[in-house]
Chains A and B, each alone.
Chain A
Amino acid sequence: MALQRKWASAIIFVILLFGGLFMIAPLLWMFTTSVKDRMDVFALPPVWIPNPMHFGKYAEIWDKGPLLSGIKNSFIVAMTVTLVGTFTSSMAAFAFSKLRFPGKNKIFLLLIASLMIPYPSVMIPQFILFSQAGWVDTLLPLIVPGLFGNIVMIFFLRQYLASVPNALIEAAKIDGSSYAGIYSRIVFPLIRPAIAAQLILWFMAIWNDYLAPIIYLNSPEKQTLQLVIANYNATYAIQTDYPLIMAASVVALLPMLIVFLVFQKQIIESVAISGVKG
């Protein structure tokens, strides 16, 4: 029996290994293509690992288009939204979880229900709204809505706050703490790990967003990173400069990959919890 189990585990390990290979191989190929000589891309039989590797494209990409400003723009949007939006979201989660006021649960349910409204259903009026404000081709339409908070984040932080004893809040109230004080001295420190994980996930979502930026941003120097690399793809495919395209894409992918590898434990835990509680 035990032997049989061991064999089963070994077979499963091999299957998982092959599965993992399928998951990672396209990304490795993306990288090897980026360091190939331009002709090696078309070589038959295929060149899997170029020898020598040409890292020249990683220098070239910066002059071939607004890659640097793309990174800067993506960073401005994601940073502003997550910092301010996390603040507003966590305050709201605190109120929904720990403060008493009439209509609280109805308002909360209304917000949750609004998650069912797909972005495409609101994007056209939003576009008109922002174009009347003169905000087309600026980063503002990507930033401003997020400043008001993120309902998914409010939902998870409220769940997390359920484990914070009410007595703690009551005691602080009796001591005469203000509500802002209770939030900053008691609630915030307690939910900091949850906030951090949610912030990272949100940052990634904004960094990788594509539909909203493509609607609003026209000038190359205003575009976010994802649009910039999509334009590289469109422009340099005609010249069949695939190593250049792949190098730019690797650069676009790398920041979030590093963030993920550094915080993988927290990210994976918080995603896993979201499913169980979701």
Chain B
Amino acid sequence: MKTNSRLYRKEAYYGYLFILPPVLGFLIFALFPALYSVYGSFTDWDGLGQMNFIGLDNFKDIFQDELFYKAMYNTLFMMIGIPIGLALALLLALGLNRRIPGTTAFRVIYYIPVISSLAAISIMWNLAYNGDFGLVNQFLDLLGIKGPNWLADKHTVKPAIMLMMIWKGLGYTMLLYLAALQSVPKDYYEAAELDGANAFHRLRHITWPMVKPVTFFVVVTGIIGGSQVFTEVNIMTSTGGPEYGSATVVFYVWQKAFGNLQMGYASAMTVILGLFIFIVTLVQFRLDKSSDIHE
């Protein structure tokens, strides 16, 4: 008994030792800064001088800040791309799941934008969206359409960036759907066919429920990622776009914190951002109680 408990203590000791680095990392680089951000959001922190407590002033200002609303609107607008990407990815995955020749090649090709450097891709699309000699308008010209100067027009700048984001993320979602589809037992479809279910019924009642965990996963991670868009905007529209039409929340935070040194104000915005992500994730989990996302 004595040795047993000593062995157990030794095991616990090594257990704690092995998990120490990530736990320390969590405390130093996540928990402490997150709490400090909350504290900073109630101050007039400028990153240099002392921090004076000013109560809710930052939050009051933010809710009167026209640029913040714009940035929030732009961020949400670009998230329209999430359901579009989902639908396209599912259709492509359904196609690839039919034992088509060259499946591996297709998977690789569709996945290349995913692994490509976002900065390089943004630089390329920045030129591709050029009104006079960009790829997009050159292509539209072939179809007889005169395209706008995408990134300089406040009506097209958001859809343009959104389109690029769909293009970049499509292969990832498609891959996840394809893996889920391949794990659906074939006899489900055969049984349904015997019962006279048509293609739409099979999609609606077998495929869609079976791939639901992937849909859930992609929507949650899509919203978390989508609320943190920065690089594309920073490179393609370095000032935040025409009439601030492409600036996202994180872009605005970055400008305020590191351009204007309004660290307290920017912290308050990140607190709102964090709360937004937390609530959206919570709602998603509520909506999807049957989800087996844990474990």
* Co-complex (A, B): yes
On whether the beta carbons of B176 and A275 are closer than 8 Å, the reply is yes
Could you list 22 A-B pairs, sorted by A, with CB under 8 Å?
Answer: A16-B95, A16-B100, A23-B167, A29-B135, A42-B132, A99-B11, A117-B34, A120-B270, A121-B271, A123-B33, A127-B47, A148-B24, A226-B117, A229-B117, A229-B119, A246-B124, A249-B120, A256-B117, A257-B115, A273-B179, A275-B214, A276-B183
Chain B: CB-nearest residue to A250: B120
> Within residues 124 to 157 of chain B, which ones have a CB less than 8 A from any CB in chain A?
124-128, 132-133, 135, 138, 141
Asked if A168 is at the interface (CB within 8 A of a chain B CB), the reply is no
Asked whether B54 is an interface residue with its Cβ less than 8 Å from the other chain, the reply is no
Q: Mark B24-40, 1 if CB is under 8 A from A, else 0.
A: 11101111111011001
Question: How many angstroms between the C-alpha atoms of A94 and B15 in the bound complex?
Answer: 9
Tell me if A125 counts as interface (CB < 8 A to partner B).
yes
Interface string of A226-269 (1 = CB under 8 A from B): 11011011100000001001100110110011001100100110
The distance from the CB of B108 to the nearest CB of chain A, in whole angstroms, is 5
Known: A15-B95, A120-B273. A276 touches B125 (CB 8 A): no
Contact of A95 among B19, B102, B141, B180 (CB under 8 A): B19
Whether A186 sits at the interface, judged by CB under 8 Å, is no
Residue of A whose beta carbon sits closest to that of B137: A46
Shortest distance between the CB of A182 and any CB in chain B (Å): 9
- B72 cross-chain contacts in A, Cβ below 8 A: none
Residues of B within 8 A of A (CB): 7-8, 11-12, 14-19, 21-26, 28-34, 36-37, 40, 47, 92, 95-96, 98-102, 106-113, 115-121, 123-128, 132-133, 135, 138, 141, 167, 170-172, 175-180, 183, 213-214, 217, 224, 227-228, 230-231, 234-235, 238, 249-250, 253-254, 257-258, 263, 266-267, 270-271, 273-274, 277-278, 281, 293
**Would you call B29 and A148 a contact (CB within 8 A)?**
yes
A26 — which chain B residues lie within 8 A by C-beta?
A: 124-125, 128, 135, 167
The residue of chain B having its C-beta at the shortest distance from the C-beta of A108 within the complex is B19
Picked from A46, A95, A232, the residue with its CB within 8 Å of the CB of B15 is A95
Residues of B within 8 Å of A274, CB to CB, are 176
How far is A211 from B255 in the complex, measured between Cα atoms in Å? 12
**Chain B residues near A94 (CB-CB < 8 A):** 18
Complex interface: chain B residues within 8 A of A12 (CB): 95, 98, 100
Are A210 and B119 within 8 A (Cβ)? yes
Nearest chain A CB to B48 CB, angstrom units: 10
Q: How many residues of A contact B (CB 8 A)?
A: 98
Contact A118 B224 (CB under 8 A): yes
The CA-CA distance from A229 to B98 in the complex, in Å, is 41
